[in-house]
Structure 1
Amino acid sequence: MPRRQLHPPERVADYTARGWWSQDTMDPLFRAQVARQPDRLAVVDPANKVALVGTEPRRLTWRELDAEVDRLAAVLLDRGATPGDVLAVQLPNTVELVTAYLAAWRIGLIVTPFPVQFREHEIVELAGLASASLFLTSTRIGDRAAAAEVAGYASSIPSLRAVLAHGPEVPPGVLSADELMASATSTVDPHVADPNDCVTICWTSGTESTPKGVPRCHYDWLAICWGTVDAPRLTEADVLLNPFPMVNMAGINGMFLPWLRVGCVLVQHHPFDLPTFLGQIGAEGVTYTVAPPALLTLLLHRPEMLSAADISTLKQIGSGSVPLQPPMVRGWQDRGIGIINFFGSNEGIALLTDPHDVPDPAQRARYFPRYGTPGHTWSSRIAEWTSVRLVDPVSGDEVTSPGVPGELRIKGPTVFAGYLHGESLPSPFDEQGYLRTGDVFVIAGEDDQFLEYVDRAKDLVIRGGMNIAPAELEGLIAGHPSVADVAIVGYPDDVLGEKVCAVVVPREGATVELADLVGFLRDKRIASYKLPEYLRVRAALPRNPVGKILKRELRDEIAKEAS
């Protein structure tokens, strides 16, 4: 079983004394919103829900959502659930997913959410690691018979007691969550949670190995979500459009928890479909959403799509996960929409640059705050709580000079307590208790007040002893008029160790040649050792379920070709 209480007593005492952690827990926050505004709209289903799961989209008020949470909680209790048990969930972004989290937290369960793309291989292993006792899914997700699939391998998860599913035509071996909820009449007594109780086990992206479980408690989730409340200045008047799966930091902390904090409207979206997405902005009066950088760039390149959509209510967009391009940030700012640059992970990296603190779009695209720099303050409260430092990955010395690459290390109330079954894994923390992020930054800005992302340490290309940051080249190549998407990886060379390969997805109707690409980069006056020496053209880049490029897969493919 997962450890119930996550952080050591001395950390709890320290952070609560500083006011960084409070006694807030999830279910009382939700019930407070229900009491305050019972008949206001709370949550909206995806417009394409019929095609997604076979049921009609719904719009629930806070009171209606609360009643549904109670019914599902009663069903889970009837299946033998007790505080500390793990509920595995595989649902797309729907009202039912919102209900699942809130019902689990009402009775003290831990939710381990799985991306809908996960299949038997991933789920059997990860549900087993989490000791999941109940599984909640849908009878259908897209064209997949999801519940029947889970029923087929449920016996391979020894801890699993029952599989429940929403939707019509429930298969043998699966309990109908809808029918059970319809007959549930008892009112559930909420579990009184300790803020240090584990509430989720999310999973790292797994681009290089088996995903690791990342347990989170009320303390650290409710601390880190202040960043995603403060940066867009959210209030109860906002309408959030959530296109990111609610299975990790982006979906949970980017949209779900800010909604819970401020009591606004949450509009769900899944799977990503651009016309539906743009239509929801106009139909629902969306004021804030999140989107990957590539999509935001695409929309600026397709002005006819934007002109055909009503985005007049949209005020800000959150983006990140990869370096943003200054022309993209500037292009949206010229349309009156501010781009917020986020840098985060399941483990707790919490850097953000918003239009209020950094109005210049070029700086906002490139830089993050260097928390603690004398003479500089930042409007998000997490800036006061978070300590950062850069460390030379070879010598271990702290980096204090601008322009010198160092691994970002971070400490504070937004950082997780450690991996699931972490006793069998290398510690992610250094000797001072800072999280080793594996991300390389340099100090930048006229007052050394910024951090500039260089790349993942493991993704650096080392050519003849010279470090080449893929992110830098990717940012430059993304500006080529014929390039829609790009990844830079290294491939083996007997003399230099590695050389640079550009993996490019051309824009529709365009072609890309290596000589043209190199010429484009030479015009940027970059060092010649950084120039790509191999080009691979693909229709799409391979990505994991949360959108990260699978660079190991690309490296393996190209290494075979180059040999």
Structure 2
Amino acid sequence: MILHSEELIREYTEKGYWGNTTLLDIFYENASKYPDREAVVDPPNREELVGGEPERVSYSKLLKAVDSVAVELQDTGVKKDSIVLVQLPNVWELAMLYLAIARAGGIISPMPMQWRQRELSYLAKITESKHDITVEEFKGFRHADAGKETVENVILLEDIREFAKTGREPEKVEIDANEIFTICWTSGTEADPKGCPLSHNNWIFQSGNLVKVCKLQEGDRQLCVAPLVNMTAVGVNYVPWLLTAGTFVLHHPFNAEICLRQLVEEGINFTILVPAVLNMILKYPGIENYDLSKVRTITTGSAPPSEWIMREFKRRWNIDIVNIWGQNEGTALIAGPDDVPDLEKRVDHFPNWGKDCGWKSGVKGIETKIVDADGRELSGAGEVGELLYRGPNVIPCYFNRPDLTEKAFAEYDGKKFFRTGDLFVIKDECFIGFYDRKKDIIIRGGFNISSAEIENILLEHPKVLEVAAVGMPDEVLEKEFVSSLFLKERLLHWMS
């Protein structure tokens, strides 16, 4: 399934941003070179999640599982361009299924565990999927029953484990690097999820940039804390794991004690943790007793980190905190030590890769514009507008939603730019800073207030663990108060 236009494929191929190598090609090469290296490590609490002892899977074992599961999926009706819904927690079989489904000719469409019948039915309808791979039950909800009411073929985790043992060879399916590898989903509280199809070339370009900026090395051990269903885990951990032939260590759900233990005992070199978790680690009782010396880089996102977090991780463990802004649609800006060496700036300065500023990270191919509400391009320092983004990492469309696609893209100079919906402030000619999401702006007395900026300041206080800034009606300013801020999934805690 190729969704990018021939014109765009020609453009990015001629410029060298897209090639002929697929993620499957990269995996098979890794397995050939390092058959005995640990490929995937289960979370230590696997038994609580899905039953069974945690497993440590080598590349050779993973290769056998990928091929074996692929042929069994073909036997169940998965063929070229079949979309397979998958709803599993972070266990090694989920990591394997990304590759096995592609090997069978299909496209994986992963879902968060908390999604229920409503979301499953919507996804099955819009993708016309006939296959759902899931568990019998998870935390009291019977996922298998929901699947049986929705699709023709429900395959349980237990079935997948049996498939993985067969040792059969799948039928060969030709796969182009421009074909879709995943359809991940945005999660909305008021609207249906939006499908974000990304090709092998999209993912390789996207995660290749991260590998450059974060200076990941061959064989790095990565800890995947986020659910393996969207950009946070797939783009920051999963694909970089393939690109570096490393070890993929899984975690689920977030548990501070287990996370810290894995960082130490698994010799983790790289991970991504949200600012609230970074803040919690720094204030964790007895943290001085944890040896984090093997961790080189931690990326963070979803909200801007505080300067205090940046400095403390560098001072205590010489760990670089890399600030990431990105979306499931494939957009991304990454503030790493090469492009933004000043820790104070790295908090709120992103390299505007759309400008030719001789970026030391070597990232090229991104085009950006910051525009006001009327679509006029802004250029002055201090001006705030919506970020428009174009690059070899961006989705071609929202899957089977031309109505949403039309609204999501804007044309400038004959090129299609993605409307990010995020407001950025122009710092100078080379740097921009995340200001806030359009929906998160608090307007008080005619002034735009960034909730993220307020939260950052409060997080620096030693007695604040988590905080959310929200707009509230005011008797005096009532007529001028406008806020569509959605309450973030964070609470204000005061530590005694």
**Which TM-score applies when normalising by structure 2?**
0.93
Please give the residue correspondences for 1:27-66 in structure 2 after superposition, counting only pairs within 5 Å: 27-66=24-63
SS in 1 for 2:358: coil
Whether 1:287 aligns to 2:269 is yes
Instruction: Give aligned pairs, total.
Output: 486
SS class of match (2:470): strand
Could you give the per-residue CA deviations for residues 361-381 of structure 1, whole angstroms, max 9, x where no partner exists? 11111110022445x322334
Q: Does the C-alpha gap of structure 1 residues 88 and 225 become closer, same or farther in structure 2, counting only changes over 3 Å?
A: same
Give 1:492 shift. Answer: 4.6
CA, structure 1 residues 509+339, in 2 after alignment: closer, same or farther (shift >3 Å)? closer
**TM-score normalised by the chain length of structure 1:** 0.82
CA shift at 1:412, angstroms?
1.2
Q: Does residue 486 of structure 1 match 2:461? A: no
**Within 5 Å, which residues of 2 pair with 1:194-213?**
194-213=176-195
Among candidates 93, 97, 108, match of residue 90 of structure 2: 93
Deviation at 1:508, TM superposition (A): 4.9
The residue aligned with 1:21 is 18
1:155, CA displacement in angstroms?
4.8
Residues 39-188 of structure 1: pairs in structure 2 closer than 5 A: 39-141=36-138, 143-144=139-140, 149-157=142-150, 160-167=151-158, 176-182=159-165, 184-188=166-170
Deviation at 1:461, TM superposition (A): 1.7
Please list the CA deviations of residues 536-555 of structure 1 after superposition, one character each: whole Å capped at 9, or x if unmatched.
Answer: xxxxxxxxxxxxxxxxxxxx
Q: Which runs of 5+ in 2 are unaligned?
A: none
Q: Structure 1 residue 413 and structure 2 residue 392: aligned?
A: yes
Structure 1 regions of 5+ residues with no counterpart? 168-175, 511-563
Task: Write the distance in 2 (CA, Å) between the matches of 1:364 and 1:134.
Answer: 44
Distance in 2 (alpha carbons) for counterparts of 1:105 and 1:242: 21
What SS is found at the alignment partner of 1:490? coil
Measured in 2, the distance between the counterparts of 1:454 and 1:185 equals 52
Indicate if the aligned counterparts of 1:54 and 1:140 stay in contact, CA closer than 8 A.
no
- Classify the secondary structure of the residue corresponding to 1:399: coil
Q: Is the 8 A contact 1:299 1:306 kept in 2?
A: yes
1:353 partner amino acid: A
Q: How does 1:414-493 map to 2 (within 5 A)?
A: 414-425=393-404, 426-432=406-412, 433-445=416-428, 448-492=429-473
Distance 1:321 1:467, change over 3 A: same
State the partner residue of 1:347.
Answer: 329
**1:13-44 per-position Cα deviation (integer Å, ceiling 9, x unaligned):** 01000001111112111111111111222111
Larger Rg: 1
Query: What is the alpha-carbon distance in structure 2 between the residues aligned to residue 154 and residue 440 of structure 1?
Result: 39
Contact residue 120 and residue 147 of structure 2 kept, 8 A: no
Q: Which amino acid aligns with 1:32?
A: E
Q: Deviations over 1:113-146 (max 9, x none)?
A: 00111111221222222222211112343x335x
Q: CA RMSD in A?
A: 2.0
Q: 1:87, CA displacement in angstroms?
A: 0.8
SS of the aligned residue for 2:419 comes to strand
SS at match of 1:330: helix
**Match status 1:258 vs 2:240:** yes
- Distance, in Å, in 1 between the alignment partners of 2:2 and 2:86 is 21
User: Structure 2 vs 1, CA of residues 305 and 385 (structure 1 numbering), >3 Å: closer, same or farther?
Assistant: farther
Asked if the contact 1:26/1:105 (under 8 Å) is kept, the reply is: no
CA drift at 1:82: 0.6
Distance 1:347 1:98 in 2: 21
Q: How does 1:302-381 map to 2 (within 5 A)?
A: 302=284, 304-335=285-316, 336-374=318-356, 376-381=357-362
Secondary structure at the counterpart of residue 418 of structure 1: coil
